[in-house]
Amino acid sequence: MEIKDKKKYKSNQEKIFKETLKNDDYKALVRKLKITEEEAFNNTIKLCDSLEELDHCKKCSSLYECQNKVKGYVYFPEAKESHLTFSYVPCKYQKQAQKLAISKKTSESILESAKLKDIKITKNRTEVIKWLKNYYDNYNPYVTNKGLYLHGNFGTGKTFLLAALLNELKYKFGITTEIIYVPELLRKLKEDLSLVGDELYYLENVDILLLDDIGAEKVTEWGRDEILGTVLQTRMNKSMPTFFTSNLTILELEKNLSITKNSEDVIKAKRIIERIKFLTDDIELLGNNYREKDTVKK
């Protein structure tokens, strides 16, 4: 940089520095960092960038609303031996997402390796375990096999129990199985509508489908009628085994599905419920929350 340009740059920086000194947030940040005026002056532009991103964070309510340069991160200053360093630090929503990703990966690993012999036998699981054993012993890939609507309180191992059955059937008969977390499915498809066609075709035709945590999603007419309704209607027509886990009873799910942000439609909700009833037996599973003990999902 030429001397003339350096003088111009310094003059401009001094002007910016004088303006920033009028900003209470800037002064508060400098005091908090416990740096000299000279260090603040030398890093004026960077500190202003940090303040702007911190201000974005104050107004942000989710990771998807992030306006910062690096999504989910804030350009953050830190004083080390009276000198400033700047780095991108994850915001609270990014930290939550990272924690969830780790938890999800652990949960998926547990579900992928689940076997019937791993199921912990307890009194409250007796009915479910008998049903699973009977289903496994009598399963025939060429005969119509009714699935299960397994509902109950949080953390009782509903998904683990059904995953164990699906894994055993997959290994024994070489069939295709899929566990789909319903809220995530709808979020993914809403974000990228180009995926809808292929995803629906796959879900309609996979040999055994488990729709996990139905009722936990945000109900919309599109998600209920165009996605869930279409998949269930096709699988019902083809008599394809379909399983569900939920924290809601069938009646509670019907009420939940009837109410969207813009309207209430009892008839369309009832159509979904009738398809579920046609596809499944209904068993309730109540008991201890195993999630708190060993991170087993539902």
The stretch 263-283 carries a mean pLDDT of 92
User: Is residue 16 predicted with pLDDT exceeding 80?
Assistant: no
**pLDDT, the chain, mean:** 86
pLDDT of residue 7: 55
Inter-residue contact 145 to 139 (CB < 8 Å) = yes
Task: State how far Cα 237 lies from the chain centre.
Answer: 30
Residues 227 and 186: beta-carbon distance below 8 Å: yes
- The whole-angstrom separation of Cα 264 and Cα 227 is 18
98 or 84, which is more confident? 84
pLDDT value at 297 more than 50: no
Residues 6+ positions from 283 with CB-CB distance below 8 Å: 127, 128, 131, 148, 149, 150, 151
> What does the pLDDT read at residue 63?
82
Distance between CA 266 and CA 278 in Å, rounded? Answer: 18
Is residue 52 scored above 70 in pLDDT? yes
Show the domains of the chain with their CATH numbers: 3-90 (no CATH), 96-294 (3.40.50.300)
pLDDT number for residue 298:
46
Q: Which residue has the higher pLDDT, 11 or 180?
A: 180
C-beta separation of 190 from 196 below 8 A: no
Q: Per-residue pLDDT for 131 more than 70?
A: yes
Task: Average the pLDDT over 37-54 and give the result.
Answer: 88
106: confidence class by pLDDT, cuts 50, 70, 90: low
Cβ-based neighbour number of residue 142 at 10 Å: 5
Helix (H, G, I), strand (E, B) or coil at 43: coil
How far is residue 210's CA from residue 244's CA, in Å, rounded to a whole number? 5
pLDDT the model gives residue 2: 46
CA distance 40 to 43: 5
The predicted pLDDT at position 82 comes to 74
Distance CA 208, CA 243 (A): 8
pLDDT band at 236 (very low <50, low <70, confident <90, very high): very high
Confidence of residue 291 (pLDDT cuts 50, 70, 90): low
Q: How many Å apart are CA 76 and CA 46, to the nearest integer? A: 9
Distance CA 229, CA 249 (A): 18
